[in-house]
Amino acid sequence: MTSLRHRLRDFIDIFSPRYCAVCGCRLNTTEQILCAGCRMRLPYMRIDDFYDNPISRLFWAKIPVEKAASFIHYKHDSDSHLLLMQLKYNHRPDIGRSMGEVMAQDLQRRGFFQDIDAIVPIPLHWKRFWKRGYNQSMQLAMGINKVTRIPILGKAVRRVRNNESQTSKSFQERMENVDDLFEAKPITPYRHILIVDDVLTTSATMLACAKALLDKNPGISMSILTLAKA
């Protein structure tokens, strides 16, 4: 079956070739989104302790965080920057789904998803969703779901304001920019939620989403996962 699938992919690639999202070289039958070279060069975070690491410490004493991880470092003028720009601004939702699968395959082997009941992707405001055509965080969640089968709560949180970009803002300005940004719904019976986003910077947006969920669901615990950490 696998060889038949590869032959079919070879045939399709003759008429509709696929190219690496970072370097632009043509992908072979077994490669998805990234060529082998670009995948090897990604700046992986390689977090070993999901409970005590630079990601989880951002949330200590702020929300009841259980585990936290980011998959790659986000750096300007790097392969990770190109990958994220393609995902967000070049109409490539497939990058989100594929990278969600890659993250999930790696983290599932190490027990990251144990005890997590549901996935909540950070929502976009409807105006931004309409302009982009998809929510990149939802695409990541869909990739994670394909591997783990953990349900996605796509309507658990709503973004009520189309806030300004967080770029170039201080931490205090970012916190003010996301004040009352989200509204959440009760999510009974789920008690351990994984919040998923594409890039983690100061944690302001993630905290605002988490606090909205806590307001409606006191007593829940949370874990955090992002594709990249700036």
Task: Give the global pTM.
Answer: 0.89
**Buried b / exposed e along 62-99 (16+ C-beta atoms within 10 A):** ebebbbbbbbbebeeebbbebbbebbbeeebbbbbbbb
Examine residue 66 and state whether it is found in any structural domain, yes or no: yes
Examine residue 196 and state whether it is found in any structural domain, yes or no: yes
Q: How confident is the model at residue 76 (pLDDT cuts 50, 70, 90)?
A: confident
How much is the average pLDDT of 114-118? 97
Residue 152 lies in domain: 44-229
Examine residue 77 and state whether it is found in any structural domain, yes or no: yes
Examine residue 54 and state whether it is found in any structural domain, yes or no: yes
Domain count, the chain: 1
Examine residue 16 and state whether it is found in any structural domain, yes or no: no
pLDDT of residue 140: 98
- What's 171's domain CATH number? 3.40.50
For the residues of 163-217, what is the DSSP string, one character each? PPP-TT--HHHHHHHTTT-EEE---TT--EEEEEEEEESSSHHHHHHHHHHHHHS
Structure confidence by residue, pLDDT tens digits, 23-73 = 999 998 889 999 999 999 999 999 999 999 999 999 999 999 999 999 999
Q: How confident is the model at residue 144 (pLDDT cuts 50, 70, 90)?
A: very high
Structure confidence by residue, pLDDT tens digits, 6-31 = 565 555 666 679 999 999 999 988 89
Examine residue 12 and state whether it is found in any structural domain, yes or no: no
How much is the average pLDDT of 145-163? 94
Examine residue 143 and state whether it is found in any structural domain, yes or no: yes
Q: Count the helix, strand and coil residues of the chain and give each as a percent rounded to the nearest 5.
A: 40, 20, 45
SS3 category, 139: helix
pLDDT of residue 3: 61
CA distance 112 to 119: 13
How much is the average pLDDT of 119-131? 95
- The length of the chain is 230
Examine residue 5 and state whether it is found in any structural domain, yes or no: no
pLDDT of residue 185: 96
